[in-house]
Amino acid sequence: MVKNNYPSRRQAKKQTNWFLVISSVLIAVLLVAAGLYSVFGVSRTVQQTNGSSVTKSSKQATDATQSKDKDWQLLLVNRDNKSKELNPEIADVDGVSVDARIAKNVKEFLAAAQEIDPSYHLISGYRSVAYQTELYNSYVQQEMAADPSLTESQAEKKVQTYSQPPGASEHQTGLAIDMSTVDSLNEADPDTVAKVKELAPKYGFVLRFPDGKTSSTGVGYEDWHFRYVGKESAEYMTEHNLTLEEYLALLKEKAK
């Protein structure tokens, strides 16, 4: 009898069943592996994406904060840029109110000025619009009383050489201080003022109304009026002999 080398139908069926089982197991393993890769791969991608997003958002927030910080330091208030009541949070420095954010700078600046001349002291700081209105009107009345020939308009024009109309005085920002060696707003010793002006940027201040800049500021020379603009801006403005108006115009031009 010739031996049949082919498996019986039962054997073939058994082998086929084992083949199907093994194939199914392999397919299942492959599917599970693919699923795990998908889950962890997507998770890693999401994590990387979220990380980049957070980093980017943090940088944007930082830039925005820095921009915002710089904005308040360079707030421009003058006759062409009037402002309503700003109501800054104020702090007391030697009996004078200033924006609380610059109180430390004011203290350090005053101390440095007193090392040059011990008679340096603060005269004025923050003034509300309401108070500035009273002060301005009193100056106008004083000028008219001193010279009866002056009209109110003429008196106001004269007053505006040393005091600003309501809404136009940067004293209402709390970022300006009047500091001198004398009690009234009269010019002090020029050499002493020059030394104080030179060290002012170290504390974030500039002499706000320098000599020869009336065309820019609209105000005559005042050796007692200092304005906080931040250390970086103060150093640049002093080095390049720029008023706040000129400095802001330069920044605007560079931003184009």
| Cα 108 from Cα 18, distance rounded (Å) | 89
CA angle 71, 179, 165 (to 5 degrees): 60
Instruction: Please choose, from the candidates 127, 159, 129, 128, the residue with its C-alpha nearest in 3D space to the C-alpha of residue 142.
Output: 159
Beta bridge partners of 121: 180
CA distances from 196 to 49, 74, 145, 154, 214 (A): 53, 21, 36, 34, 21
The DSSP output letter for 181 is S
Q: Which residues are catalytic?
A: 222
| Cα 58 from Cα 53, distance rounded (Å) | 8
Amino acid code (one letter) for 58: S
| Cα 235 from Cα 43, distance rounded (Å) | 49
Q: Checking phi first, is residue 241 left (phi over 0); if not, alpha (psi -120 to 50) or beta?
A: left
Cβ–Cβ under 8 Å, residues 164 and 79: yes
DSSP-assigned letters across all residues of 167-211: T--GGGGT-EEEEESSSSS----HHHHHHHHHHGGGGTEEEEE-T
